[in-house]
A and B are shown apart, each in its own frame.
Chain A
Amino acid sequence: MSHEPSTHEPSSMSHQPLAISHLSGRGLPLRGHDVDTDRIMPARFLVAVSFEGLEHHLFEDDRKADPGHVFNDPRFTGASILVVNTNFGCGSSREHAPQGLFRAGFRAIVGESFSDIFQGNAAMLGMPCFVASHDDVDRLQALVAKTPDVVIAADVAAAVITAGSLRMTATLPSAVRDGFLSGQWNPTAMLLVRFDEVRAVAARLPYITGF
């Protein structure tokens, strides 16, 4: 594994709100469409009761099958921004996939599109998925592949991403963006704030009250 596992634990609900307005780091260009979560984190690593150590198994089968796999490439050691193509994270809802990426040090993903479930899971960990155009992603992947040391910077509020001479406008779901800017991307506490209203909804659902 060319990535040094991060010591930064994924967010959990005890963490105090921590606003994130800017992210920057070196990139890792992973080309390919419809990269499913079985490939990101093969199922056998889900036979466990914790997420610990998942960073060691990212793309394990793909990496073994292809020594030239970008995750084997030492030039991208320490990258924190993954650059992907369309429908990244499709398939299984396993949070083990974004957990593995987060624990390996990734803090943001830039791609052409993401599966709904993956995007939501990543957001819960504090790892935003920026959506950019095909051409912009292609240019960014080419730039990072050529100059792995280039720093990619993301402005969360404007969803603007810059790297070298590249500057692109991406999108981020507004709730994700506002969550990062306010430090409230982890919703558990927020969902419990007005628990009386939750009880009220339950009390008016006929299948709960017994028709």
Chain B
Amino acid sequence: MAATLFHKVWDAHAVRVLPSGQTQLFVGLHLVHEVTSPQAFDMLRQHGRKVAFPDRTFATVDHIVPTSSQKRPFLDLMAEQMTSALERNCRDAGIHLWAPDNDNQGIVHVIGPELGLTQPGMTIACGDSHTSTHGALGAIAFGIGTSQVRDVLASQCLALDPLKVRRIDVHGALRRGVFAKDVILTIIRRLGVHGGVGFAYEYGGDTLDAMTIDERMTICNMSIEGGARIGYVNPDETTFEFLRGRPFAPAAGDAFEHAVAWWRQMASDRDARYDDRVTFDASTIEPTVTWGINPGQSVAISEPIDAEPDDEALAFMGFKPGSRVQGTRIDVAFIGSCTNGRLSDLEEAARIVQGHHVAPHVKALIVPGSRAVSRAAEARGLHEVFIAAGFEWRGAGCSMCLGMNPDKLEGRQVSASSSNRNFKGRQGSPTGRTLLMSPAMVAAAAIAGEVVDVRELLVGADPRVRPGVPA
């Protein structure tokens, strides 16, 4: 019978139906970081339980690591203690850890795919809501709480109810200056920040087919901002080529070919049935920016704020109905995070930045999502482009996405940010204001000192080569 990838993966990992009616689901890959795991390891110890499948769990340090200097011990004693706790927990349990001084350290959702740990057809859980990112490779990946981290450590399983599946088709070519970030912001704007509650989102259509894995990761990453705990794209040739040769991917030769055959059959069948379907036209999407305090409150850069009247959001952000975000003076520009901290994001930003300088009043940060991203960018000389333009070139970590490390907004500062959440206080200052946008738009804002339409800076620059893009 025709089925979706969600249902195929679910069935392949179902251990049994529990007396509660929930499914006991096997977790193929468990990713762990320093913030949501120490209590889980403590609970295990307290009750004398062992980690059931230590070789199915991998750990890194990302949320609390400083990005200006990653020398140990960290200046923040608590951050140092959390890192030491993770090191001890992983050592005791036999879990592989990429510690802060390791060449593979980075944001957990950047390094999983980068190392080839993330593969199609897997179930992946991590104590972090942006675990949905891994769905870009055709995995069923979702965020869990710390008590569930404990359960996965203890049993490699979770007790879960299945979700409904909404197919989101995006058709057509993206226009110049429009990126995956704009697509997902547009999807969330239309479907709402709670439109995805109870659903997994399956993204497809020719726009998604033409996207790189990096772009698909940006889309899947923000599924949770639309309320969907899971977002995924069916695996295809792009996925297989992305994985080929990565350290944890199946070895070249028979193993890889067998893997491709299995991955292919896990994709949704052509005639699979969905609980809901929606369609977007990519050609109508413009560079998009948020104006409010949740990721659904956004407008195209050319549009005024049409505000369904949310007085709280408008007052907090200092906008009025009918105001434009374009022209808003910014204090901070942040390029990084699990949403947009990969090499291609830095390349897009560098293309804008080249030959320009950051406005004098703007503090601008480039924070690679991983040490590997950092190395690759440096090999291409991108760091020199950024440093020459007045950006700070930082070490890998979550940085200013979330206010859990020294990179924070101050007071009512306005930040143009390539991250995923514009919640009140999200970037570390209770009154700080976040405008979410694509890395290219952040780069353009950093240079102009205010929010601008990135397309204006693209005049004369190399247009992005995309099949079918109208001239």
Contacts and interface: CB of A to CB of B under 8 A. Distances in A.
Nearest to A173: B161
A67 interface: no
Contacts of B254: 211
Nearest to B34: A49
A49 B163 CA distance: 32
Nearest to A94: B36
B242 interface: no
B155 interface: yes
Contacts of A48: 78, 82
Contacts of B220: none
B129 A121 contact: no
B197 A188 contact: no
Interface in B399-435: 402-404, 421, 423-426, 428, 430-431
Interface stretch (A71-79, A132-140, A199-207): A199-207
Given A49-B85, A173-B161, A191 B151 contact: yes
A104 B128 CA distance: 24
A95 B144 CA distance: 8
Nearest to B257: A211
Contacts of A125: 147
A211 B403 contact: no
Contact of A194 (B15, B42, B294, B312): B15
Select the residue from A50, A173, A184, A187 with max chain B CB neighbours within 10 A. A187
B159 A175 contact: yes
A211 B428 contact: no
A51 B16 CA distance: 32
Contacts of A148: none
Interface residues of B, number: 85
Interface in A110-169: 113-117, 120-121, 124-125
Interface in A58-114: 61-62, 64-65, 86-87, 90-96, 98-99, 113-114
Contacts of B14: 201
B122 to A, nearest CB: 6
A140 to B, nearest CB: 20
Contacts of A182: 19
A195 B145 CA distance: 22
Contacts of B12: 205
B342 interface: no
Contact of A198 (B147, B156, B197, B402): B156
A49 B197 contact: no
Contacts of B302: none
Contacts of B121: 207
A188 B424 contact: no
Contacts of A206: 258-259, 262
Contacts of A50: 38-39, 42
Contact of B259 (A46, A62, A211): A211
Interface string B148-191: 10110011111111010000000000000000000000000000
Contacts of A174: 20-21
B242 to A, nearest CB: 16
A51 B39 contact: yes
B148 A121 contact: yes
Contacts of A95: 36, 39, 127, 145-147
Pick the 6 closest A-B CB pairs, nearest first: A121-B145, A95-B145, A87-B194, A61-B430, A93-B143, A175-B20
6 contacts: A175-B21, A178-B21, A184-B19, A187-B151, A188-B154, A190-B24
Interface of B: 12-16, 18-22, 24, 26, 28, 35-36, 38-39, 42-43, 46-47, 49, 52-53, 56, 63-64, 76, 78-79, 81-82, 85, 119, 121-122, 127-129, 142-148, 150-151, 154-161, 163, 193-194, 197-198, 224-225, 227, 229, 250, 254-256, 258-259, 262, 294, 312, 402-404, 421, 423-426, 428, 430-431
Given A117-B145, A190-B159, A191-B154, 9 more contacts: A47-B78, A49-B82, A87-B227, A90-B194, A114-B197, A121-B145, A175-B20, A201-B15, A211-B255
